[in-house]
């Protein structure tokens, strides 16, 4: 059965790592950004970002609009996620858009020689694109760090809970927005989540770090366990642990 041209075009647009990152940033920010802002969030030059954003706009994943200005100067071109996900029949929308994007990313990473580490690196890039405005920069007690991370995970759709016994050795994930894709390619999708979790804890000033991710500990109801541990003390000038 031949593949529709629109499906091929959608796959091509979503297969680009830079376009995946830009689309994720626009979704996380939930507001219109210009090419410079979006590019800075993912480490791309303004012109490069504009090229990829225009491809996403052409495929219907984002919209382009001119900035409404009440002061002199050239208005910026602003990009925002399309409300219907895409404007052509072959493109997914809503939750299906996320699953389709995750599936394409998993398929792309599966072709690389070091899939495990590449997945973790992709997760770290995802963490770097998240809004950090609510993340404190002062030292955090383990329980406070867990509270902040569970809030971040909740916003991403993971329905995270602290350990029911009040312990600080784990976080329980009661839902995975990418469960369908994870079941197809668990090592890559869960590796991306592991990288995102590791980087998120590293961005906090806390003694906790992620030791591992046990995925699908139970399937019905779904439960995944984020294992946490205390960071090893760094040696002082004398070579002894601080």
Asked whether 192 and 179 are in contact (CB, 8 A), the reply is no
Task: Give a yes or no: residue 55 inside a domain.
Answer: yes
10 Å Cβ neighbour count for 113?
6
Task: Give a yes or no: residue 78 inside a domain.
Answer: yes
Task: Give a yes or no: residue 106 inside a domain.
Answer: no
Greater confidence, 82 or 161?
A: 161
Q: Is the pLDDT confidence value at 149 over 80?
A: yes
Q: Which among 120, 108, 95, 86 has a CA at the least distance from the CA of 180? A: 95
Q: Is the pLDDT confidence value at 47 over 70?
A: yes
Both 25 and 86 in one domain: the answer is yes
Both 127 and 74 in one domain: the answer is no
| Domain of residue 55, CATH code | 1.10.10.10
Domain count, the chain: 2
Asked whether 223 and 174 are in contact (CB, 8 A), the reply is yes
Task: Give a yes or no: residue 108 inside a domain.
Answer: no
Both 129 and 208 in one domain: the answer is yes
Q: Is the pLDDT confidence value at 6 over 50?
A: no
Give the pLDDT score at 185: 83
Give the pLDDT score at 199: 94
How far, CA to CA in Å, does 159 sit from each of 57, 174, 177, 227?
A: 31, 5, 9, 16
Once rounded to an integer, what is the mean pLDDT over residues 208-237?
A: 87
Task: Give a yes or no: residue 104 inside a domain.
Answer: no
- Residue numbers of the domain that contains 79: 5-91
Both 131 and 83 in one domain: the answer is no
Task: Give a yes or no: residue 49 inside a domain.
Answer: yes
């Amino acid at each position: 059965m031949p593949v529709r041209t629109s499906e091929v075009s959608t796959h091509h647009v979503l297969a680009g790592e830079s376009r995946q990152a830009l689309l994720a940033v626009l979704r996380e920010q939930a507001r219109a950004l210009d090419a410079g802002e979006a590019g800075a969030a993912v480490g791309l030059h303004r012109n490069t970002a504009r090229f990829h954003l225009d491809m996403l706009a052409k495929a219907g994943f984002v919209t382009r609009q001119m900035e409404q200005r009440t002061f002199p100067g050239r208005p910026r071109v602003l990009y925002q996620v399309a409300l219907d996900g895409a404007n052509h029949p072959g493109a997914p929308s809503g939750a299906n858009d996320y699953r389709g994007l995750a599936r394409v990313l998993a398929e792309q990473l599966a072709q690389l020689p070091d899939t495990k580490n590449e997945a973790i690196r992709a997760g770290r890039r995802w963490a770097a694109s998240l809004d950090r405005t609510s993340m404190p920069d002062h030292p955090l007690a383990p329980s406070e760090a867990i509270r902040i991370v569970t809030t971040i995970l909740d916003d991403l759709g993971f329905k995270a809970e602290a350990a029911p016994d009040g312990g600080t050795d784990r976080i329980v994930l009661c839902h995975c927005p990418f469960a369908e894709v994870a079941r197809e390619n668990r090592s890559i999708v869960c590796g991306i989540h592991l990288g995102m979790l590791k980087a998120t804890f590293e961005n906090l000033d806390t003694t906790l770090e992620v030791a591992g991710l046990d995925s699908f500990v139970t399937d019905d109801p779904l439960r995944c366990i984020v294992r946490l541990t205390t960071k090893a003390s760094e040696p002082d000038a004398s070579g002894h642990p601080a």
